[in-house]
Amino acid sequence: GQQVMQIPQYQHVQEGEDFTTYCNSSTTLSNIQWYKQRPGGHPVFLIQLVKSGEVKKQKRLTFQFGEAKKNSSLHITATQTTDVGTYFCAGRGTGANNLFFGTGTRLTVIP
C-alpha cells in the first residue's frame, strides 16, 4: 500500500532558528498538500503543490515538490512560537480518490 513517511518525527528549535521537514512517498503522487495541526487542534490546510519541481512561498514558509513527484519539503525561516505544532504532508496517488497523510513532524519552538 501507499506509504508517506516524514522526517524528523520531532524537532526542537530555538526561536529564530530555521526548521525543515521532509516528506517521502513510496509511489508517485498526483499532488502534495501540507497541513498544520496546533496542539489539541485539528489539521488545517496550508498549501498544495501539483507540478514537478514546484516551489511555493507563504511568508516565512517555503514548500517544494520533488522532480519525481515522490518527495516534498517544508522549510520555515526564523521560527516563531506561533509555528509550534505538527506539520503533515498528504498525498494522493495518480488516479486515486483517497488522501494519505504522512507521519507528521512535531515542532517545538523554545523562546
Least distance in Å: CB of 78 to other proteins?
Answer: 26
Q: Does 7 bind other proteins (CB under 8 A)?
A: no
Least distance in Å: CB of 15 to other proteins?
Answer: 25
Buried-state track 91-103, b at ≥16 Cβ within 10 A, e below 16? bbbeeeeeebebe
CA 109 to chain centre: 17
Q: Which residue ranges make up the site for other proteins (CB under 8 A)? A: 1, 6, 9, 30-31, 33, 35, 42-45, 48, 50, 88, 90, 92, 97-104
